[in-house]
Amino acid sequence: MPISAMTAVVTGAGSRRGIGRATAHALAAAGWNVAVLDLDEAGAKETADEVAAAHGVAALGAACDVTDDASVDTALATVTEALPPVGAVVNNAGITSPVPFLEVSDAEWERVFAVNVRGAYHVTRRLAPGMAERGFGRIVFLSSVSAERGGGVFGGVAYSAAKAAQLGFARALARELGPSGVTVNSVAPGLIDTDITGGALEGERKAALLAGIPVGRNGRVEDVADLITYLCREETGYVTGATYDVNGGSHIH
């Protein structure tokens, strides 16, 4: 089945300057129809409208709280009814948390894991069976350099732990779904200029951060979106269980 006859689901793609919206555009430019899910319904619909107008594909935006079973069911029912079969899932929805471990509360720890890990589980668990049944699928997790180097960028221990959990999730799932034609990979961005990091990238703080990046600049959302789109290609069927770093060389291991 050609990519133009399939849909890519991107979670957390409502933010105007986020990786999710850039990914929705990049996937659509490659021929995918796109379903945008976000807690912010207006943002999701705005992304979908932009994508459809720019790339001539079918796109829809729907409200979705990935931490809530019923909300995920409702959103995906809308996707299934309105768009072609799902062939790709990008688990982009996530939240960060800078709270130091000795100050973190149970509620904060659970909140970070609920969005980053349980949210990815809810969406993937519902869509993976269909992809396996059809014999084709591409699943991408948005992890973080914080999972690999142990924080030290923006997120604290809860964030690093949750993003590391995504890496284990993806690797084990890759083993299970490989025989069914479904690949599962992770992308670990470093410092990317988004709404989340933008305010911290000014003046001396920005100069200090950039000094540690060999390519001499912070990342752009397109840098991440292009890699995700590559991993979702039909031709990228022999790459699975891998973690791709997008950090300008700031963390080399």
- Could you read off the pLDDT of 136-158 as tens digits, one per residue? 999 999 999 999 988 767 789 99
Q: 215 in a domain, yes or no?
A: yes
Q: According to the model, what pLDDT value does residue 206 have? A: 74
SS (HEC) of 35-81: EEEECCHHHHHHHHHHHHHHHCCCEEEEECCCCCHHHHHHHHHHHHH
Tell me whether strands 86-91 and 243-246 are parallel, antiparallel or unpaired.
unpaired
Q: Is a pLDDT exceeding 90 seen at residue 188?
A: yes
Q: 207 in a domain, yes or no?
A: yes
Q: 208 in a domain, yes or no?
A: yes
- Could you read off the pLDDT of 30-80 as tens digits, one per residue? 999 999 999 999 999 999 999 999 999 999 999 999 999 999 999 999 999
Q: 203 in a domain, yes or no?
A: yes
Q: 248 in a domain, yes or no?
A: no
Q: 245 in a domain, yes or no?
A: no
- Integer Cα distance of 180 and 200 in angstroms: 43
Q: 246 in a domain, yes or no?
A: no
Q: Is a pLDDT exceeding 70 seen at residue 28?
A: yes
Catalytic residues: 159
What CATH number does residue 149 fall under? 3.40.50.720
Number of domains the chain is built from: 1
- What φ, ψ does residue 245 adopt, rounded to 5°? -85, 135
Q: According to the model, what pLDDT value does residue 202 have? A: 65
- Kindly compute the dihedral angle of the four CA atoms of residues 7, 38, 115, 76, in this order, to the nearest 10 degrees: -40
Q: 251 in a domain, yes or no?
A: no
Q: According to the model, what pLDDT value does residue 77 have? A: 98
Region 115-126 average pLDDT: 98
Q: According to the model, what pLDDT value does residue 97 have? A: 92
Q: According to the model, what pLDDT value does residue 204 have? A: 73
Q: Which two tokens stand for residue 66?
A: 């990935």
Beta carbons of 94 and 12 less than 8 angstroms apart: yes
Q: According to the model, what pLDDT value does residue 49 have? A: 98
> 105 lies in which domain range?
3-240
Beta carbons of 159 and 146 less than 8 angstroms apart: yes
- Could you read off the pLDDT of 189-238 as tens digits, one per residue? 998 887 655 555 566 777 777 888 999 988 999 999 999 999 999 999 99
- Could you read off the pLDDT of 83-104 as tens digits, one per residue? 999 999 999 999 999 999 999 9
Quick check: pTM over 0.85? Answer: yes
